Amino acid sequence: MKVIVAGSGGREHAIAYTLAQSTTIESVICVPGNGGTAFEAKCRNVNPAEREDTASLPFVDAFVAIAREEKADFAVIGPEDLLADGIADALWDAGIPTVGPKAKGAALEASKDAAKIFMNTYGVACAESQTFSDKASALAYVEKKGAPIVIKADGLAAGKGVVVAKTTEEAVQAVHDLMGGTAGKKLVIEEYLQGVEISVLAAVSVTPENAQNGTATIVPFLPARDHKRLLDGAKGPNTGGMGAVCPLADVSAETMAQFKQTILQPTLNGLIAEHIDYRGFIFFGLMLTKDGPKALEYNVRLGDPETQAVLPLMRSDFAALCRSITDGTLADFTLAWKTGFQVAPVAVSGGYPGAYKKGLPLHISTGSGEQDTKIFIAGAVVDRQGDAQSLVTSGGRVLACSAHGETFDEAWRRAYDALKTVSFDGMQYRTDIGLPGAAESN
């Protein structure tokens, strides 16, 4: 089979690499891909912007054209903005099975207000909230409620649309800052939940047919944790993610059972009741509180960098999982996992999450290929000016070193040993991914 993958980040490198491990996959077309997928076995990058026939087309139209030309058997969509733009709708209309929800389902991430309405309608355990379209009303609510409080821009904001305000002054400033942007014409203001955050990714297959016959399903993956703060000890500014670990020793079977009962099953019930054709992945951002897990948000795709820590632990054939999602037979699929742990610290450019330089030579020594270790490229591309085999940085988050071990300590050591084989000017990373005290908590 031939599969086409949309996206250019570390998540997409991990997706493409994992798909390529399947004996059923002949080739993986990455659109546009990155410097990691450029050299991955079975993978090939295709950049619509560099093709005469697609350069002037919107990305969705260009992607569908390339998928047709390549005669792709199915597609996997990485980024949320493409899903919100209806890329899955367009691919299904073109006869190409797609892993990724149609636009109606993608609204669960594209609009935090829509997600909260959905959660409250179907009894998903979550934080209490109110939504505001008027700045004056939002400011009055913040002044009345006080701090701590959480301010969220309604729309997609590339992970930068949430402010956990510890003081009323911070909350007021957040309202002013977020209400002015394109993602913040509407605000969701939530109660502040005390606890520690985790992520649970899941495969979803809800089709008109299996919703009717009772086999629609959501299958959760192992719990993981992203580390958002830039600096050790969960300090510094929020980022897109400084590293991830999976599974979590501090998440009990009882907690996962509560999650399934109060969040996972009600979400499935809601997708069925709303007649949402949802074939793809969903990300549950959770806060573990004294009253049990509460949903903070939905993402309608695999998380980044959680994917780089979760997929390497999957023992089942990932391509077969994807096909069970698209053909509506996920309920019959047996999902199996390796034992042990995966640790994936991220190396970022100096200045990130603020301004940073691009085009810096990226060096990865040959000693980086230790057993059970994989480097997933995120923000790096092939150096067109130099050696065809060399890479230069192109983003703030440059790569993740993902390593497996039968114990957490073994996985952690392997991951950080791999980081020592990587270098570029201004490179920085956290040294405590997965360690006690590293997790963000409220």
pTM for the whole structure: 0.95
Q: Given pLDDT bands bounded at 50, 70 and 90, which one contains residue 437?
A: confident
pLDDT recorded at residue 289: 96
Q: Given pLDDT bands bounded at 50, 70 and 90, which one contains residue 440?
A: confident
pLDDT recorded at residue 370: 66
* Amino acid in position 330: L
CA-closest candidate to residue 289, choices 191, 219, 160, 434: 191
pLDDT at 53 over 70: yes
Which residues contact residue 236 at a Cβ distance below 8 angstroms, ignoring those fewer than 6 apart?
Answer: 229, 230
d(CA 219, CA 240): 25
CB 78 within 8 A of CB 302: yes
* Neighbour-count burial of 47, counting CB atoms closer than 10 A to its CB (0-12 exposed, 13-18 middle, 19+ buried): middle
In the structure encoding, which two tokens stand for residue 405, read together? 């071990």
CB atoms under 10 Å from CB of 367, counted, come to: 10
Q: Given pLDDT bands bounded at 50, 70 and 90, which one contains residue 178?
A: confident
CB 32 within 8 A of CB 44: no
In the structure encoding, which two tokens stand for residue 325, read together? 């999602």
pLDDT at 271 over 90: yes
pLDDT recorded at residue 255: 97
User: What is the average pLDDT across 206-214?
Assistant: 96
Which DSSP category does 406 fall into? S
User: What is the average pLDDT across 89-111?
Assistant: 97
CA-closest candidate to residue 344, choices 308, 395, 382: 308
pLDDT recorded at residue 333: 98
Say whether 370 sits in a helix, a strand or coil. coil
pLDDT at 389 over 80: no
Handedness of CA 44, 50, 52, 55 (dihedral sign): positive
d(CA 254, CA 150): 28
d(CA 70, CA 55): 17
Q: Given pLDDT bands bounded at 50, 70 and 90, which one contains residue 161?
A: confident
What are the pLDDT digits (tens) for 296-346?
Answer: 999 999 999 999 999 999 999 999 999 999 999 999 999 999 999 999 999
Low-confidence winner among 242-256, 356-370, 425-439 (lowest mean pLDDT): 356-370
* Neighbour-count burial of 105, counting CB atoms closer than 10 A to its CB (0-12 exposed, 13-18 middle, 19+ buried): buried
Q: Over 2-53, what HEC string results?
A: EEEEEECCHHHHHHHHHHHCCCCCCEEEEEECCCCHHHCCCEEECCHHHCCC
pLDDT at 184 over 60: no
d(CA 117, CA 188): 11
pLDDT at 441 over 70: yes
CB 438 within 8 A of CB 234: yes
Which residues contact residue 373 at a Cβ distance below 8 angstroms, ignoring those fewer than 6 apart?
Answer: 401, 402, 403, 404, 414, 415, 417, 418
Low-confidence winner among 131-145, 203-217, 335-349 (lowest mean pLDDT): 131-145
CA-closest candidate to residue 18, choices 345, 271, 396, 376: 376
* Neighbour-count burial of 111, counting CB atoms closer than 10 A to its CB (0-12 exposed, 13-18 middle, 19+ buried): buried
CB 138 within 8 A of CB 163: no
What φ, ψ does residue 425 adopt, rounded to 5°? -60, 130
pLDDT recorded at residue 366: 67
d(CA 327, CA 294): 31
pLDDT recorded at residue 158: 60
Length of the chain, please?
A: 442
Which DSSP category does 128 fall into? -
pLDDT at 265 over 90: yes
pLDDT recorded at residue 388: 67
**In the predicted model, what is the mean pLDDT of the chain?**
94
In the structure encoding, which two tokens stand for residue 57, read together? 């087309």
Q: Given pLDDT bands bounded at 50, 70 and 90, which one contains residue 402?
A: very high
